[in-house]
Amino acid sequence: MRPPISTFWGKARLDPTQQIVAWHLLTDHCLDVALTFRALVALPIIRRRLEAATGRPLSNVALDRLAVFALLHDLGKSNLGFQNKIFRSDAPRAGHVRELAPLLFEEDLSDCLASALDVNTMGSWFAHPEECEALLFAALSHHGTPVRFDPSERTGSYHTAKTQWWRPNNGQDPFVAIADLLAIAKRAFPGAFAADGMLLSAPPALQHRFAGLVMLADWLGSHERFFPFDHDTGDRLM
């Protein structure tokens, strides 16, 4: 029986019979990780390391913007293959990283992603707009291996992800879920979206440190003892 999960889930705990006994909404998990990341980068030694990597001081606005990217680390979990796999024992074993490939190479899906993420706004934070994509890829690399997609390798689950998992179905729209992540980011880090004259620089050294910090924040923010699963019981930010 499907549990009363009202929207997209991000973490779940199953019993030995593979029944769901606890769950955590995708927005709530991503918020936990982003707030953990923001606390880490506020530590003086970590802030100095990031500033050394970027070659300039980082304002609080800049750190908030990095936290927004950290919040987006699990946006791939919004694909319906990932969402549905815990409800059916025979469901395909969909993940949340490689399944992102169609969003890069299929024009209609790329447009949906750009709209959900408001990429024009996020791109305006950077001196070089291509660094916006690079930082997003760094966030998506939070499992430790740099994420790269080859347009010539459209094998495995690519077709299913393209034709099914990223398409609205049964009242679930993956891009609405991604837009919800951006909405909670705006609530959690309003300063990131305020006008600020200093543009971010994200050279490879910063991308490397950022990816490592997102991985650490994800480890810490996924610990159920410190971040109990909420079961969609209220406003996590409050």
Which pLDDT tens digit goes with each residue over 53-97? 999 999 999 999 999 999 999 999 999 999 998 887 777 889 899
Span of 43-47, 146-150, 188-192 with lowest mean pLDDT: 146-150
Cα 67–chain centre separation: 10
First and final C-alpha spacing in the chain: 31
Helix axes 44-54, 204-221, angle to 10 degrees: 150
Spatial neighbors of 168 by CB under 8 A, at least 6 apart, are 174
| Percent of the chain at pLDDT exceeding 90 | 68
Rounded to whole angstroms, how far apart are CA atoms 182 and 71?
8
DSSP secondary structure, 149-187, as one string = --TT---TTHHHIIIIITS-BTTB-HHHHHHHHHHHHHH
| Percent of the chain at pLDDT exceeding 70 | 95
pLDDT tens column, 113-131: 999 999 999 999 998 989 9
Q: Looking at the domain covering 9-221, what would its CATH class be?
A: mainly alpha
- pTM exceeds 0.85: yes
Q: Answer for the pair 38, 227: CB distance below 8 angstroms, yes or no.
A: no
**Is the confidence at residue 38, as pLDDT, over 90?**
yes
